[in-house]
Amino acid sequence: MTCEAVIREISNYLDGDLDTTLRRAIEAHLADCKDCQVIIDQTKLTIDIFCDSEMVELPEDVRRRLHETLRRRMQAARK
């Protein structure tokens, strides 16, 4: 198991959507790879913080600027 493979499966791993063989391979990798363990821990923490947070209403001018920026970047990416 490589670090890249762990990162590729991080969402499925955290969601518990892996078959037993792949889950065990990831857990064996995590036992030896502190870098991947940090990534897993930080991702879990980020999810926990996000899930515990309350929605914040953006001011209209911020919302408008955000939408305009996203629209411009999406159009630029299509070119």
73 to each of 28, 50, 66, how far by Cα in Å?
40, 25, 11
Instruction: Identify the pLDDT of residue 39.
Output: 97
Q: Are 27 and 13 a contacting pair, CB within 8 Å?
A: no
Query: pLDDT tens digits for 9-42?
Result: 999 999 999 999 999 999 999 999 999 999 999 9
Query: pLDDT band at 54, cuts 50/70/90?
Result: confident
| The token pair that represents 79 in the structure block | 């070119």
Q: Which helix (H) or strand (E) holds 21?
A: helix 20-32
